[in-house]
Amino acid sequence: MIQKERTLSIIKPDAVSKGIIGAIISRFESSGLLIVSAKMLQLTTDQVLEFYNEHKNKFFFKDLMEFMISGPIFVQILEGNYAIRRNREIMGNTDPMKALAGTIRFDYGESCTKNVIHGSDSESSAKYEIAYFFDI
């Protein structure tokens, strides 16, 4: 049975500064995921604290916060069959060194923090994350 879903994707500051937004979008589109809404924005410290609240006590949080406010991001809603799972497959492992060849993070990521992309990891996080950035 086919399950049409929506998921959030954030192209992070490192990817924006490298000029690879189009290359990343192309991977989603060629995999059958549609972009139903998108925008570029600059996160504030308060927004990062709120959005990544579940990670606030983890060792990497300070670096993540500084990185996410370091430049603009490109936020998009992807839609398609099993969009959450497909998005995560296309992105690859959070750690680019562990990501499969051909995934976005393998090809463009530098570290667990500077891994060029974020994607929702579940249906509940997708709903929260989409609502955080979009009035849909």
Task: List active site positions.
Answer: 118
- Which residue in this structure is represented by tokens 């990497």? 60
Residues of each annotated binding site for ATP: 12, 60, 88, 94, 105, 115
How many other CB atoms are found less than 10 A from the CB of residue 92? 23
Helix axes 21-30, 83-91, angle to 10 degrees: 130
What residues are designated binding site?
12, 60, 88, 94, 105, 115
